[in-house]
Structure 1
Amino acid sequence: MDFRAMAEAVQPEVVAFRRDLHEHPEASFQEFRTTEQIAKEMDKLGIPYRRFEPTGLIAEIKGGKPGKTIALRADIDALSITEKTGLPFASKNDGFMHACGHDTHAAMLVGAAKVLMQVKDQLCGTVKLLFQPAEEIGRGAKAVIQQHGLDGVDFIFGIHIGSQMDVGSVAMMAGASAAAADRFTIKVTGKASHGARPEAGIDATVAAAALVMNLQPIVSREVAAATQLVVTVGSLHSGSRFNIVSGEAVLEGTIRSYDVDLHHQLPGIVERVAKNTAAAYRCEAEVEYDMLTEVLVNDPDAIDLVRKAAGKVVSDPAQVLQAQPGMGGEDFSEYTVLAKAAFARLGAGGEYPNHSDYVVFDEDSFPTGVALHCQVAWDFLNGENN
């Protein structure tokens, strides 16, 4: 089955659909128009689907013969970034942009649906097309799971487009390949006083400053040196006026980790450090800790299948690459806890990285992504040699 040629044939439709989505980016759990556009495509193809609440949908292609079930996943939300690319199809929604390429993910999966419908009767099993909302806030996959989107799925596969990679290249790795991503907020409470009489107050700013420093030894002194762990305090707000001792400070930050056991210990560690540090300065600390995503762990057998599938659809075997782990989070990780899973990156060239307000993804990468979705589904359901 020449899925590459079939993907090339639907490329104009994929590009047109992607550009429409790019012009109309929507925030997490606000992807109402995006969901509707996808639903219209499914209606045209005669593919039944079910909507999630509040956004996103899952469609189902039943093959001509019974068999296993594979889910192909694409996320659909945008980022709160003002686009500066100058593209003729740049965002029309002020303050929002598909800077992470989720518009391309949705378009490539729609393209895969068009191709798979051409071979539907030859499929031995079921292909579920999962258009997931709210990846950017780390809550979409959980919502899909809660709404039974992963029920009955034997294997789930996903693609993430990546700028600054060779166009059409495919990278993957077995095991942990994306970090668990957490968010924390720490409120430090002291007692305000005049800046000329600090002894009359309890300075929340001093406690907060100490806390920023005391969080770092979690990385350098509390875990093994080889452990991949990042603690970042991205925001600290304290006080209201230059001559007042602050009575309250708020810190916000993120922690990225690769060790599954450590990930689940981190909320307790942060709370201990926060409360004890605050107490040392006569303050109190409240901690809100949100475990946004789990560690993304690719099944070795699944990755082997994807690697072989990629070799069949790339234009040059050298374009199938070994990925390197990064500290970015990806809520596809939630699926990897429940089912055999594999996640790959698709190269799309460009000068600027994902999440940049200048990022541009080369549309010539799309046929590889469309074909890879189809080849992975075919190989899993029908066997690699068919």
Structure 2
Amino acid sequence: DIDCVNVQETALEAHLPNKLGFRSQNDGFMHACGHDGHMAIGLGVAQWIADNQAQLNGKIKLVFQPAEEGVRGAAAIAASGIIDDADYFAASHLSFCADSGTIIANPKKFLCTTKIDIRYQGKPAHAGAAPHLGRNALLAAAHAVTQLHGISRHGDGMTRINVGVLKAGEGRNVIPTTAEVQLEVRGENAEINQYMVDQVLQIAKGIAVSFDLDYETEIMGEAVDLDNDAELVELISELAQKQTGVAEVAPTYSFNGSEDATILGRRVQQHGGKAIYFIVGADRTAGHHQAEFDFDEQQLLTGVNLYTALLQRLNA
């Protein structure tokens, strides 16, 4: 992946990208998740493959996964069939929940997730002279937000919901006619996630009826859960222990988040292959998706070396 996030990068002089001149050139957007590092690792692996192709067997595919943020990219890549013939699939994230010198070989509890937009369409009216003639989409959306966050948690596993964006209205003296709510739900498995989706859609409909509005919902992205294959977990653990600078190989970790590379991993598994998603630890100056985020770039080499070692072993 390579996409950035909607974060304004810090202007602090101590921030290394400011010191060295590689900060974001676009206001309101920055590489605050390490995806630029993922692309750097991918290019390093590609260079190694080109330099060592005479010693390699079989077919190697490097998959570019666009639009990871919002989990919008992997489903289209999977549907293309490009990885249906893969015997093995490996993906990873840089930093996240691990520091430099640590590899997490088997993250668990990837949450299924669905990203949903709700759009309400009301009717304008003069806010002073005839407010009763309008249909207030902003007020409906505000009610929807409070009800969405009140969805009962599921007793059989983790659930999450977050409304990240609420946009509404046209002017202070006009009854608001449009409103959009952008949200996400997550669940520990597909059934629990679907429970959350069903609750969201029910609330969206109920609000539209009670405020006499037209409405529509749209699924904007999805990801699934993933169980790593034991063969690859053992192999990554073994190879990581041999890497210079790796001090600890953590056997497992509760991820408790979502990642649409899981769609690719599951696709490979469904076609008889094996898959793994692991973490390459890297110290960071701030948490992911924060304005001061930066990571230990020495771990880019750790990532390249681990992938190339995996390729050598699988091509033996």
Question: Which TM-score band (shorter chain)?
Answer: 0.7 to 0.9
* CA-to-aligned-CA distance 1:150-174 (integer Å, 9 cap, x gap): 1311111012111573213111325
> Do the aligned partners of 2:2 and 2:36 also contact (CA within 8 Å) in 1?
yes
1:1-386 alignment, distance < 5 Å? 75-84=1-10, 85=15, 86-91=18-23, 93-95=25-27, 96-116=29-49, 120-123=53-56, 125-162=58-95, 165-173=98-106, 175-177=108-110, 179-196=111-128, 198-220=131-153, 223-224=154-155, 226-264=156-194, 266-313=196-243, 315-320=245-250, 322-327=252-257, 329-339=258-268, 340-382=274-316
TM-score with structure 2 setting the length? 0.81
Structure 1 stretch displaced more, 296-305 or 335-344: 296-305
Structure 1 stretch displaced more, 275-284 or 119-128: 119-128
The change in CA–CA distance for 1:371 and 1:243 in structure 2 (over 3 A counts) is same
The change in CA–CA distance for 1:186 and 1:131 in structure 2 (over 3 A counts) is closer
The change in CA–CA distance for 1:209 and 1:140 in structure 2 (over 3 A counts) is closer
> Do the aligned partners of 2:116 and 2:183 also contact (CA within 8 Å) in 1?
yes
> Do the aligned partners of 1:83 and 1:91 also contact (CA within 8 Å) in 2?
yes
> Do the aligned partners of 1:185 and 1:251 also contact (CA within 8 Å) in 2?
yes
- The alpha carbon displacement at 1:262 in A equals 3.3
Counterparts of 1:83 and 1:247, CA distance in 2: 34
Amino acid at match of 1:183: K
Amino acid at match of 2:122: G
Counterparts of 1:227 and 1:289, CA distance in 2: 23
* CA-to-aligned-CA distance 1:259-279 (integer Å, 9 cap, x gap): 123334554432222112321
**What RMSD, in angstroms, separates the aligned Cα atoms of the two structures?**
2.9
Q: Which residue matches 1:4?
A: none
> Do the aligned partners of 1:164 and 1:349 also contact (CA within 8 Å) in 2?
no
**Structure (1/2) with the larger strand percentage:** 1
> Do the aligned partners of 1:219 and 1:231 also contact (CA within 8 Å) in 2?
no
The change in CA–CA distance for 1:111 and 1:254 in structure 2 (over 3 A counts) is same
Return 5+ residue gaps in structure 2 as ranges: 269-273
> Do the aligned partners of 1:207 and 1:278 also contact (CA within 8 Å) in 2?
yes
> Do the aligned partners of 2:94 and 2:280 also contact (CA within 8 Å) in 1?
yes
Counterparts of 2:7 and 2:96, CA distance in 1: 17
The change in CA–CA distance for 1:174 and 1:165 in structure 2 (over 3 A counts) is closer
> Do the aligned partners of 1:185 and 1:252 also contact (CA within 8 Å) in 2?
yes
Higher relative contact order (CA 8 A, sep 6+): 2
Structure 1 stretch displaced more, 227-236 or 313-322: 313-322
Q: Which residue matches 1:21?
A: none
The change in CA–CA distance for 1:116 and 1:187 in structure 2 (over 3 A counts) is closer
- The alpha carbon displacement at 1:121 in A equals 4.8
Amino acid at match of 2:64: F
Identity of aligned residues (%): 27
Counterparts of 1:82 and 1:190, CA distance in 2: 33
Amino acid at match of 1:359: F
Aligned pair count?
303
> Do the aligned partners of 1:156 and 1:341 also contact (CA within 8 Å) in 2?
yes
The SS at the match of 2:64 is strand
> Do the aligned partners of 1:170 and 1:310 also contact (CA within 8 Å) in 2?
yes
> Do the aligned partners of 1:165 and 1:349 also contact (CA within 8 Å) in 2?
yes
* CA-to-aligned-CA distance 1:209-240 (integer Å, 9 cap, x gap): 221122234343xx32x522211122223333
The change in CA–CA distance for 1:380 and 1:271 in structure 2 (over 3 A counts) is same
The change in CA–CA distance for 1:260 and 1:87 in structure 2 (over 3 A counts) is farther
Counterparts of 1:142 and 1:296, CA distance in 2: 14
> Do the aligned partners of 1:81 and 1:99 also contact (CA within 8 Å) in 2?
yes
Counterparts of 1:215 and 1:92, CA distance in 2: 35
- The alpha carbon displacement at 1:332 in A equals 0.7
- The alpha carbon displacement at 1:351 in A equals 2.2
* CA-to-aligned-CA distance 1:29-87 (integer Å, 9 cap, x gap): xxxxxxxxxxxxxxxxxxxxxxxxxxxxxxxxxxxxxxxxxxxxxx2333454544314
Return 5+ residue gaps in structure 1 as ranges: 1-74
The change in CA–CA distance for 1:165 and 1:193 in structure 2 (over 3 A counts) is same
The SS at the match of 1:362 is coil
TM-score with structure 1 setting the length? 0.68
The SS at the match of 2:205 is helix
Q: Which residue matches 1:35?
A: none
* CA-to-aligned-CA distance 1:273-318 (integer Å, 9 cap, x gap): 2112321233333212223333344334332332222222254553
> Do the aligned partners of 2:113 and 2:193 also contact (CA within 8 Å) in 1?
no
The SS at the match of 1:206 is helix
Structure 1 stretch displaced more, 336-345 or 106-115: 106-115
> Do the aligned partners of 1:207 and 1:277 also contact (CA within 8 Å) in 2?
yes
